[in-house]
């Protein structure tokens, strides 16, 4: 039997990855399935082997900075597929992609067809040179490639029916909303309290409503839209880092004595099957805990002061008086090796009370929200008064430089029922 050619093998791998993504729900339409079967992904990822190029859940890193951190990549097929589904590209649409790689622009151009227009923009000339070359070499010369800081969008070719952002964004600048058509949609990996979700947002006037949200991971935005989180190292230990996305507590020194108190542990009875994502739990705690943050532990300095299941990432929070901190951690459920049980560990003079407070939120999520649609997310311009925001009174408001983002777990107001909403919980890259 003659050996398979590279193209034959690549076609088989494309079919394989599409079938896999249909099975796990990332692909739900014939249009997205067809485009992933058709466009030769491996030709846009020459850095990778065929098998690595067509790995369903792994990105291909295309550029690193001096410290070795990824600054540009071709996202995993799973991520690209569900973002294309979120976007709902139809023939004839005008589309802006923020963050270039070449491959995704080829997908967009195929979906938009000959009557559509695709513009892709990136701040890094090395990235746009690469994208431009690969697009031309592989039959997509119609894609417009622009080198610019996309914080201001690309006004020369606006308005856009769809804007697809393929880098992690801390905020949504006014230009992005203003450059959408009246009923246009933006799909953006949005960072909310340190948690990133690919959110599909529909424009209604000067604000945006979510239609879906998916867990994801992306390299961070560069340029004017870059925003670093703040890290707090409680005095008395070098092993614990608390990371805050929207600024440190008012008086970080109040935590100085927390690590000198015994650790309190409370187990909640809340069980989750192993391997099942807890996306909605993460967002729920980020919504209801004012001092929400994430905790990472330096393994080389681990003294056992804290004992998280995941040393690199745990949901955490600082108490209202700033003197205690707690983190959420699972353990194998007693007598059931198919499930985890969630608990709360806390340190500080008021650790017992704070641990109980966080544990009660876990139980509230388990009782009222774990099987629900997830939060309603709305985005209004910064400065919009509370009574002018299209969000329930109980919504958690996250203040950004250019926007006010509201997360609500209440029933969607009747006036917004014409805009569909769902959240799918899947692991991202």
Catalytic residue list? 75
Exposed / middle / buried, residue 417 (Cβ in 10 Å: 0-12, 13-18, 19+): exposed
Q: Report the candidate in 167, 34, 16 with the shortest Cα–Cα distance to residue 107.
A: 34
| Residues 5, 316: Cα–Cα separation, whole Å | 51
**Cα radius of gyration (the chain):** 23
Pairing label, strands 376-381, 207-215: antiparallel
Can you list the positions of beta strands (E) in 274-413?
292-297, 314-318, 325-332, 339-347, 376-381, 396-399, 403-408
| Residues 166, 100: Cα–Cα separation, whole Å | 8
- For residue 168, the surrounding DSSP H or E stretch is none
159, 164, 169, 171: CA torsion to nearest 10? 30
DSSP 297-332: E-GGG--SSS--SSSS-EEEEE-TTSS-EEEEEEEE
Exposed / middle / buried, residue 300 (Cβ in 10 Å: 0-12, 13-18, 19+): exposed
Neighbouring residues of 177: CB distance < 8 A, sequence distance ≥ 6: 186, 203, 206, 207, 208, 379, 381
Residue 420 neighbours by CB distance under 10 Å: 12
Neighbouring residues of 387: CB distance < 8 A, sequence distance ≥ 6: none
Pairing label, strands 314-318, 325-332: antiparallel
Exposed / middle / buried, residue 199 (Cβ in 10 Å: 0-12, 13-18, 19+): buried
CB burial string 260-287: b at 16+ within 10 A, e below: eeebbebebebebeeeeebbbbbbbbbb
Contact assessment for residue 175 and residue 149, using Cβ atoms and an 8 Å cutoff: no
Tokens for 121, please give them. Answer: 């923009």
């Amino acid at each position: 039997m003659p050996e398979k050619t590279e193209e034959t093998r690549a076609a088989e791998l494309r079919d394989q990855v599409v079938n896999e993504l249909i099975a796990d729900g990332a692909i739900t339409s014939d249009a997205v399935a067809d485009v992933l079967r058709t466009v030769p992904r491996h030709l846009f990822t020459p850095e990778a082997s065929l098998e690595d190029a067509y790995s369903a859940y792994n990105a291909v890193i295309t550029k690193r900075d001096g410290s070795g951190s990824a600054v540009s990549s071709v996202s995993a097929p799973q991520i690209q597929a569900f973002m294309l589904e979120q976007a709902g590209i139809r023939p004839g649409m005008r589309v802006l992609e923020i963050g270039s790689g070449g491959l995704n622009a080829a997908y967009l151009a195929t979906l938009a067809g000959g009557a559509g227009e695709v513009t892709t923009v990136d701040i890094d000339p090395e990235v746009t040179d690469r994208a431009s070359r690969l697009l031309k070499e592989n039959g997509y010369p119609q894609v417009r490639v622009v080198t610019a800081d996309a914080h201001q969008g690309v006004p020369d070719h606006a308005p856009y029916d769809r804007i697809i952002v393929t880098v992690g964004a801390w905020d949504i600048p006014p230009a992005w909303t203003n450059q959408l058509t009246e009923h246009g949609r933006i799909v953006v990996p949005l960072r909310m309290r340190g948690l990133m979700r690919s959110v599909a947002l529909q424009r209604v006037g000067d604000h945006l409503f979510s239609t879906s949200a998916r867990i994801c991971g992306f390299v961070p935005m560069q340029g004017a839209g870059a925003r670093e989180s703040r890290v707090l190292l409680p005095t008395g230990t070098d092993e614990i880092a608390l990371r805050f996305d929207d600024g440190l507590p008012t008086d970080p020194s109040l935590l100085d004595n927390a690590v000198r108190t015994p650790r309190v542990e409370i187990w909640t009875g809340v069980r989750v099957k192993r391997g099942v994502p807890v996306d909605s739990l993460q967002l729920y705690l980020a919504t209801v805990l004012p001092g929400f943050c994430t905790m990472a532990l330096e393994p080389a300095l681990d003294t056992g002061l804290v004992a998280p299941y995941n040393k690199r990432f745990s949901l955490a929070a600082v108490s209202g008086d700033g003197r205690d901190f707690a983190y959420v951690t699972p353990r194998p459920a007693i007598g059931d090796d198919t499930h985890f049980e969630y608990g709360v560990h806390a340190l500080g003079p008021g650790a017992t009370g704070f641990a109980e407070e966080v544990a009660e939120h876990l139980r509230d999520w388990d009782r009222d929200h774990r099987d629900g649609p997830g939060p309603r997310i709305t985005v209004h311009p910064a400065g919009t008064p509370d009574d002018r925001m299209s969000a329930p009174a109980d919504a958690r408001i996250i203040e950004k430089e250019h926007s006010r983002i509201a997360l609500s777990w209440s029933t969607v107001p009747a006036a917004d029922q014409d805009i569909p909403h769902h959240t799918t919980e899947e692991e991202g890259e």
